[in-house]
Amino acid sequence: MMAIILIVAYFLAMIVIGWWAERNQERSTAGYYLAGRGLGATALFFALFGTNCSPFVLMGIPGQSYHDGLGILSLNAPIVALVIPLSFWLVGRPARSMGARLSAISPAELYAKRLDSKAVGWTLLTAFTLFTVPYMVTGIQGCGIALSKQFDGTLNAPTGAALTLAVALGYTLLGGMRATAWTNVVQGALFLVVITLVAVALFGEFGGVQAAFEHLQAERPDLTVMDRAHPRFTPTAFASYELAITLTVVCFPHMLVRLMAAKDERSLRTSCRLYPIALALLWPAAVLTGVFGALLVPGLEGRASDGIFPAMVTRILGAEWSVLGTLAVLAAAMSTLDAQLLTMGSMVSRDLGASTRAIYVERVFLCAVGAAVFGLYLVVEHLQLSIFELGQFCFSGYATLFPTIVLGLVWRRFTGAAAVASILGGVLTLMAFQWGDLPAGGWLPVAPSLFVASVLAVAVSLVTRPPAEARVREAFGC
Amino acid sequence: MRILAVLGFVSLLVLHFDYWRTPSTTPWWGWLPDELGWRLMWMLGALTYLWWFTGRFWKIKP
């Protein structure tokens, strides 16, 4: 009963925030999609943090750590804690100012206007859609499973997924960017508190931090080291994964659009300071939950370990509080899902349709994106497709957009033809290495595809006609 | 200042890609695994760098 009350209360709280945001927002397209370019430091920080922390961190990372130990922390947390905050300076700062100067609402629109090329907008829209929609499906899939498990199957997974999508769509439709930013404040705080609580409580299970690690060292010494002979941790695999995980985040359209919504540069700078602190709380807690989960809940094979986080919540806090684990997963999933819905809606609306229209029409576009995501979810469920591999492909795909995303913002000589060549070349190379069994010398497919995308971006820019000086001046402000 | 920012970033990368280092099998202070201790120290270093970066290097033009 308490589980139902807390989950309903959480969903209602999200809708109320959406309603509040709707009452307090500027009645314009920029007001709806970018909160009038007025996100202050608190909302911006949580919007960025919540958007980037998906069920991958709460479910996937503890699940991987369960088998591979502390090496998963080494692989993920440090580089992310450094590079993502720096991207607020490298990408966020120019994207925010350029977006405002060119009156761009969506990421694809920003690059189409900056490079004076509709082809760039269409290519980016296609690439973003190709990589984002399956990623959204993984989010609602996780929520469906979490809700189904919470209610012992009395609520089936598709209904749980539909419910989550409906609530996220509901508050996003109501309040646009402002709603998603402020719900992210609640959601980010919620999953940060729950996972920290679990990590602290698990040390209590062993009688303290020191005793816990001594126990780990005695029972599972293999989990306390990064096995450098493991295929995941060889130098080339490690380096390629670092490339993928950092550059992917920089190129998420739903992160980019939040950076464009910053009120001022000071808000971006504050987020840059706070972000590594939040990650330093979240990632070690997620990894330690998985590592100590191997001691407390042993015997999970393969992907069954993905359920270790909810299992640990139940094991440590008791069955009556297991709902906290479900709420944390819902919060993590919805904080990403709402941003993706809004961003995809803005791109479909702005890049396929007219540049200005009534807000209710924009909401129709959002509903269309939501319907498409749920339709794909049903197909995936029916065909039992491996979303995990598709997800990996999506992340690598985002990384191949990196040369276009960065050079478009910092290099005046970068051209539209180079952007199209770089995106197409990078994605095709990725497909060739991913599915064509080409030898990559131990590197993951993301490495050669990023190399090709980078070379094409620079080479094609140098051999094609420079962009019109007037547009460059307008974009760069000088 | 720009050189310092680049040098700091590169130093952190070199310390992160630590295949040049032989991890210790002895836990720090007798209980903290070397892998965890090393990464947490690195993250503290990265945090210090980012605070320096945002305080001294990232100047906001009026």
**Joined tokens for residue A20:** 């509040």
Nearest to A360 by CA among A105, A173, A104, A170: A173
**Do the Cβ atoms of B31 and A213 come within 8 Å?**
yes
Partnered with residue A39 across adjacent β-strands are A262
Task: Kindly state the percentage of chain A with pLDDT values over 70.
Answer: 96
**Angle, in degrees to the nearest 10, between helices A446-463 and A387-400:** 30
Report the pLDDT value the prediction gives residue A65, as an integer from 0 to 100: 93
Quote ipTM for the complex.
Answer: 0.95
Report the pLDDT value the prediction gives residue A245, as an integer from 0 to 100: 85
**Angle, in degrees to the nearest 10, between helices A416-435 and A118-150:** 40
Query: pLDDT higher for A288 or A306?
Result: A288
**Joined tokens for residue A328:** 């944390």
- A250-285 in b/e burial notation, b at 16+ Cβ within 10 A? bbbbbbbbbbbbbbbbebbbbbbbbbbebbbebbbb
Report the pLDDT value the prediction gives residue A409, as an integer from 0 to 100: 95
DSSP letter for B18, please.
-
How confident is the model over A217-264, as pLDDT tens digits? 999 999 999 988 888 899 998 988 888 888 888 899 999 999 999 999
How confident is the model over A76-135, as pLDDT tens digits? 889 999 999 999 999 999 999 999 999 998 999 999 999 999 999 999 989 998 888 888
**Joined tokens for residue A210:** 């020191």
Is A384 within 8 Å of A87 (Cβ atoms)?
Answer: no
How confident is the model over B7-57, as pLDDT tens digits? 999 999 999 998 888 888 889 999 999 999 999 999 999 999 999 999 999
**Do the Cβ atoms of A272 and B53 come within 8 Å?**
yes
Q: Which residues of B touch A (CB under 8 A)?
A: 9, 12, 16-17, 19, 23, 25, 27, 31-36, 39-40, 42-43, 46-47, 49-51, 53-54, 58, 60
Distance from CA of B3 to the nearest CA of A (A): 16
Q: Which of A68, A73, A75, A86 to mutate to test the interface with B (most CBs of B within 10 A)?
A: A86
**Do the Cβ atoms of B58 and A284 come within 8 Å?**
no
Report the pLDDT value the prediction gives residue A413, as an integer from 0 to 100: 94
- R_g of chain A computed on alpha carbons: 22
Q: What angle do CA B38, B41, B42 make, to 5 degrees?
A: 85
Residue A299 backbone phi and psi in degrees, to 5 = 95, 5
Report the pLDDT value the prediction gives residue A112, as an integer from 0 to 100: 93
- A375 pLDDT above the threshold of 80: yes
Residue B32 backbone phi and psi in degrees, to 5 = -85, 120
**CB–CB contacts below 8 A, A to B:** 85
- A358 pLDDT above the threshold of 70: no
Partnered with residue B32 across adjacent β-strands are B28
DSSP letter for A319, please.
G
Please report which confidence band the pLDDT of residue A390 belongs to, taking 50, 70 and 90 as the band edges: low
How confident is the model over A439-469, as pLDDT tens digits? 777 788 888 999 999 999 999 999 999 988 9
Of B25, B35, B58, the CB nearest to A89: B58
- Cα–Cα distance for residue pair A330/A145, rounded to 1 Å: 10
SS3 A295: helix
Report the pLDDT value the prediction gives residue A386, as an integer from 0 to 100: 57
DSSP letter for A228, please.
T
Of B9, B17, B35, the CB nearest to A224: B35
Element (H, E) at A180: helix A157-206
**Do the Cβ atoms of A78 and B46 come within 8 Å?**
yes
Report the pLDDT value the prediction gives residue A110, as an integer from 0 to 100: 94
**Angle, in degrees to the nearest 10, between helices A469-476 and A107-114:** 140
Average pLDDT over residues A183-197: 91
Query: How high is the mean pLDDT of chain A?
Result: 89
Determine the distance from the C-alpha atom of residue A374 to the mean position of all C-alpha atoms in its chain, rounded to a whole number.
18
Please report which confidence band the pLDDT of residue A31 belongs to, taking 50, 70 and 90 as the band edges: confident
First to last CA, chain B: 20
Distance from CA of A371 to the nearest CA of B (A): 41
Distance from CA of A129 to the nearest CA of B (A): 32
